[in-house]
Structure 1
Amino acid sequence: MYKRILMLSAMAAVFGSAVAKVKLPHLIGDNMVIQQNTDVCLWGSARPGATVKVAVSWSESGYEAAADGQGRWQLTVKSPKADGRRLSISFDDGDGAVSVGNVLAGEVWVCAGQSNMEMPIKGFDDCPVDGYNDVVSGARADSLIHFVKIPSRMSMTPLDDAMCEWKQCSPETVGDASATGYFFARMVTKATGVPVGLVMANKGGSRVESWLSRENLERYTKEPLDSAEMVRKYKWDFHRPLLWANGTFNPILRYTVKGILYYQGCSNVGDPGNQYSERVKLLAEQWRKDFGLGDIPFYIVEIAPYESGQADGTWSARLREQQLRASDIIPNSGIVGTNDCIYPWELTQIHPAQKRKVGERLAWLALNKTYGMKSLRCESPRFKAMTVSGDTCYVELDNMYGGLNRYDGMVGFEVAGEDKVFHTAKAWLAKGRRIAVTCPEVKAPVAVRYCFRNFMLGNVANMAGLPLLPFRTDNWDD
């Protein structure tokens, strides 16, 4: 009997030691990228009251933290400057060490939003991404790009962990990376020589309200926050508020990142007034507060042309207008245009194939605004002012970088008179780098629009080849 007690005691000690060993969230693991040259947050769980010691391969400095009554601990370590070295970190609470390896110091960016951000290099069914074979065959050269996909999960309460795994880009893995995120990372790495880590926390079909916290939803919206009410109001789970913030985004909020890439909006088409832009601003403020890293960059992708039930309608155009407004009212923000990222036959394709342009334009924004490469031209031309002389409207633009891509043959312009009926217009580059717009059917024009339809493709760009952002000079409710 005594021997049996001793044996059981020994087994309990071994089992207890195994249970007590430091446990890390899945986001902290092999192949991860840590934000370079800063204080990086690390966290996990251990035996309550235990002292967790952390050792890093790039420094002799030691770090430690005490686990609280629930076994939770958190600390920060000073990360090195990115140089391509493979790093490691070990964690020890006295009951056994846990290590992570193949770690890189670099730049960490969050890929947030809905399905066009989620869309992987391998595409969705019947929705290909241009250049798949080119990317896969060249992926061995992209070993400095790592990514982690946070599972799309709903939760009524905020989750601290998610079943995920960092991957290093290779021909075998790159197909799973966000296409927009990958092309962004490839350009940033090419320009800087620095590794890039992508944290892909997104959900197809999600609304901006899907990512707002309970506090913000209660204070600024009338969204249902009871699960039964959510189901009654929203047939599709991806439209429901709060749940994706709790289940998909909350697990990453302690990770140290550089900035956020935000590609979302299709599911908010039809929102009234300035509601969408104000809620995107609220979301940017929420995420910045939760990350605790200050006003980190928040770069927005304009939703692409899509018929949205009626190609000639304007409800999608109004959402794009709201996205531009959001980029104006959110500090340290910017927007990339996508009007030329659509093939004419993609009228009903909600997932257009040209993701390389989108990702690279985001990269140019970041390289110019975040990394100081001011010689890069990163802004799309946008409406500045309009004057009318007789039957001709003259439109002035910002962000031309010295001119436009064409003198004449411009398409996408419409004009209207007091009757508010728009007609296709002729447009050309006039003296003073103004665009002259006229139409025989409109003798006394009062308003001009450019590509202000659900699906309308223009051909005007600036000297950088970046497309003119859709606009209107009126404020009419069509």
Structure 2
Amino acid sequence: MNKEKLFVARWILLFLMMLPMTVTAKVRLPHIISDGMVLQQQTEVRLWGWNDPGKKIKVSVSWSQNPYIVQTGTDGKWMVRVKTPKGGDTPYRITFDDGEKTVVNQVLIGEVYVCGGQSNMEMTLKGYGDCPIEGYNEAVLASIHEQNIHYVKMPHRMSMHPLEDTPCEWKSISPETVTDCSAIGYFFASLLQRTLNVPVGLVEAYRGGSRVEGWLDRENLSKYTKEPLDSAKIVAAEFDPARRCMVWHNGVFAPILNYTVNGILFYQGCSNVGDPGNQYSERLELLVKQWRKQFGLGDIPFYNVQLAPYWCGNDMGTNFMHLREQQYIASKKIPNSVLICLDDLVYPYERRQLHPCQKRQIGERIAYHALNKQYGMKNILCESPTFKEMRISNDTCYLRLDNTYGAMNLMEDVCGFELAGEDKVFHPAKAEKIEWKDLGFVITCPEVKKPVALRYAFRNFYPGNLKNAAGLPLYPFRTDDWELK
């Protein structure tokens, strides 16, 4: 009996001695490097993972006969840069071999973008309760032909420290999967894929309700803000987890920072309404600098979406408009960035709707900018008109705009303009198109005999109706610097 026990004990000991070798010997990859992923075309993409310290790993890619050899560091981490070919329909495989092979299949090569922000970017094609997506059926049917669009969602994980990995899975677009894809991301990718004829990958890293501070890292929050950085203080400061600082950077964004991408789509701001002064524009600029530094890919394009008009408790108030103005200010300070104007993409019945239904147009407007600026299609008209200059003579304002492309959509029945005199009280104004150093408008208001300041669509919910030759709306603007109410 004792011999039997000794025999069993020896076998258990031998098993335990072998167990660590079985667990740690094989290459471990982050979840984002997995079957169905899309890699950025014609560049050097980063592949990375973990293994035993000092372990040599051979990385073989099916588009090339030349393998890559990499050795893990003392911390067990490794990273290799792999050259990618031109994108196309061909699925590839990547083999990681440390003596035992790990294979990633159905790898596509094309264009890769991050979708970030809060609930309007997170909003899937199936929408939210009482918030449908316009054109849902048409989009689902069209997705039959969009299998070369793949997306991967980062789960909503809060963390006090940057995570290196998070559970996620790449999915190919089909009528069964498209409904869970970001609607804006999908419509962007669809137009891009059809135009460039290459696969498109979307890395979805967002959190509904998040503030811009939720995406800043500890270093920037400590250096430039007074946000709490102790876990207990963070929870005490924000009962709503979505609004907490830093934790979304650590849990959602940090795991994707090694992935090679070609740009960022961003739609966020509602949760920062009420921020004082230029705080939001300064922190958004800081965030873009942070991301570009962390990705290490240079000044990759930043496509920011301006908030749509929203009543915010008072149609004629300006608290919501102040945040939209901050987004515009940031767009002028952030290099290689674009602000997508949505002033025309809210129906009158959606004045109290934070999630307007017209998402296709947003994704396509982002794609117009990408096609023009990143892919050289200069005949694509992508810019919204902007304020250029104003001249006042007696009771009349003369206005000029930039980015008209030689035409504006209305000669009369223009709405959205307001004039104010020295009393700083704004009144609705009449605008008529004139020929003044190309295209211009003359603005008058019977109640304002000596105008001092002009505003356009500068209320929470006071959309204008001016568009340029490309059908893109005029950005809201003001010529005064008076305090907002």
Considering the TM-score relative to the shorter chain, is it more than 0.5?
yes
Unaligned runs of 5+ in 2: 1-5
1:27 has 2:35 as partner: no
Task: Classify the secondary structure of the residue corresponding to 2:329.
Answer: helix
Residues of 2 paired with 1:173 and 1:375: CA distance? 34
Return the match for 1:60 from 50, 59, 65.
65
Q: Deviations over 1:368-401 (max 9, x none)?
A: 1111111111110011111112211111111100
CA distance in 2, matches of 1:403, 1:73: 56
1:449 aligns with 2:455: yes
Give 3-state SS (helix, strand or coil) of 1:462's partner.
coil
Percentage identity across paired residues of the two chains: 56
Amino acid at match of 1:448: L
Aligned to 1:278: 282
User: Partner of 1:50 in structure 2?
Assistant: 55
- Structure 1: tracts of 5 or more residues without a match: none
Matches within 5 A, 1:183-332: 183-332=187-336
Q: Distance in 1 between matches of 2:400 and 2:466?
A: 13
Take 1:18 and 1:217, find their aligned partners in 2: how far apart are those partners?
38
The one of 456, 463, 474 aligned to 1:468 = 474
The count of aligned residue pairs is: 477
Q: How far apart, in 2, do the equivalents of 1:225 and 1:47 lie? A: 33
**SS at structure 1 position matched to 2:397:** strand
The residue that corresponds to 2:184 in the other structure is 180
- Structure 2 length as normaliser, TM-score? 0.96
Name the amino acid aligned to 2:75: Q
The CA deviation at 1:69 is 2.6
Aligned-partner residue type, residue 465 of structure 1:
G
Matched to 2:465, the amino acid is: N
1:157, 1:57 → 2: CA distance? 36
Q: What residue identity is the alignment partner of 1:16? A: M
Aligned to 1:428: 432
Q: CA separation in 1, counterparts of 2:148 and 2:443?
A: 48
Distance 1:391 1:213 in 2: 51
Any idea what SS the aligned residue of 1:283 has?
A: helix
Does 2:83 match 1:78?
yes
Query: Secondary structure in 2 aligned to 1:353?
Result: coil
Q: If the length of structure 1 is used for normalisation, what is the TM-score?
A: 0.97
Q: By how many angstroms is 1:68 displaced?
A: 2.1
Partner residue of 2:3? none
Supply the AA of the counterpart residue of 1:216: N
Where does residue 136 of structure 2 map in the other structure? 132
> 2-side partners of 1:3 and 1:93: how far apart?
33
In the alignment, residue 31 of structure 1 is paired with which amino acid?
G
Aligned partner of 1:437: which letter? Answer: I
Equivalence for 2:387: 383
The residue type equivalent to 1:145 in the other structure is I
Within 2, Cα distance between the matches of 1:382 and 1:328?
A: 12
2: CA distance between counterparts of 1:130 and 1:101? Answer: 35
| Separation (CA, whole Å) in 1 of partners of 2:385 and 2:205 | 30
Q: Distance in 1 between matches of 2:85 and 2:442?
A: 54
**What SS class does the counterpart of residue 73 from structure 2 fall into?**
coil
What corresponds to 1:143 in structure 2? 147
1:371 partner SS: coil
CA RMSD of aligned residues (A): 1.4
**Secondary structure of residue in 2 paired with 1:86:** strand
Judged with a 3 Å threshold, the aligned counterparts in structure 2 of structure 1 residues 99 and 423 are, in CA distance, closer, same or farther, namely: same
Give a deviation string over 1:217-276, Cα, whole Å, max 9, x none.
111111111122222222211111111000010000000000111111111112122211
SS of the residue aligned with 1:28?
coil
